[in-house]
Amino acid sequence: MGYTPEKDMRSMIANYIREQIEIYGDELAMDKAYLPTYGKEESPEIAWQDSVTLQELEELTHTCRKCALSSTRKNFVFGAGNPDADIVLIGEAPGATEDQIGRPFVGEAGQLLDKILAAIQLKREQVYICNILKCRPPNNRDPLPQEVTLCTPYLFKQIALIKPPFILCLGRHAAQTLLDTTQSLSALRGRVHDWRGHRLLVTYHPAALLRYTQFKRDTWEDVQLLRRLYDEFLQNQLS
């Protein structure tokens, strides 16, 4: 069967209803017997898992309607940077400026992040930057557990495609989500964690540094550690 806009819309609606049933149970006012079935090649919610490039993944996920954030966002903020990056930086969620523009870390916190990267001789174009959530929570509230559960598969697929030797978690939410822990950021930073074969480090979110300047020294130590480890990695690649 060929593609038609009507068939694509029916598929999106069917997937949305299935997800709502999974989340809220059978009390949802919809008889599952009426849900149409489609093959794998026709289902956007299945096809994204088979993406072979970041561009393809973005194209298949940017219309996501898995949670209520899709109704309040202006833009799905997928991520940006080098698709072959050795270092992936992961924040919490898009802010107002990011939601407006559609790119991660482009507001005041993003400008500070650029300066932090420059201090360890890295440019934004060399790394890849993304967030736990792809849509902005209203009023920049903390991500809800359900939102994290629904959105992190996209993040994990991004990491699987990039295959970075290093991950730098920016802030408590990113660190606790990836490491599946409730430990504080201060307990997690300053050491190297193993996450699915990637070397993961933790530091403060740039937005926190704008409010609490006393964390800047710790952040400087964290990114210096990243730089030393990265230099060792590069040297080993040459030998």
Q: Residue 74 and residue 148: Cα distance in Å, rounded?
A: 19
Classify domain 75-238 at the CATH topology level.
Answer: Uracil-DNA Glycosylase, subunit E (3.40.470)
Q: Can you state the angle between helices 108-119 and 216-238, rounded to 10 degrees?
A: 50
Size of the chain in residues: 239
The SS3 of residue 86 is coil
Q: Whole-model pTM?
A: 0.81
Inform me whether the pLDDT recorded for 156 exceeds 70.
yes
Cα atoms in the Cβ-side hemisphere of radius 13 Å centred on 7: 10
- The residues that bridge with 202 in the sheet, in sequence order, are 169
Among candidate residues 110, 107, 65, the one with its CA nearest the CA of residue 89: 110
Inform me whether the pLDDT recorded for 186 exceeds 90.
yes
Mean pLDDT is lowest, of 1-10, 28-37, 89-98, 102-111, for: 28-37
Could you tell me the pLDDT band of residue 39, with boundaries at 50, 70 and 90?
A: very low
The reported pLDDT for the residue numbered 13 is 61
| Strand pairing class (128-131; 80-81) | antiparallel
User: Average pLDDT for residues 77-98, to the nearest whole number?
Assistant: 98
Could you tell me the pLDDT band of residue 51, with boundaries at 50, 70 and 90?
A: very high
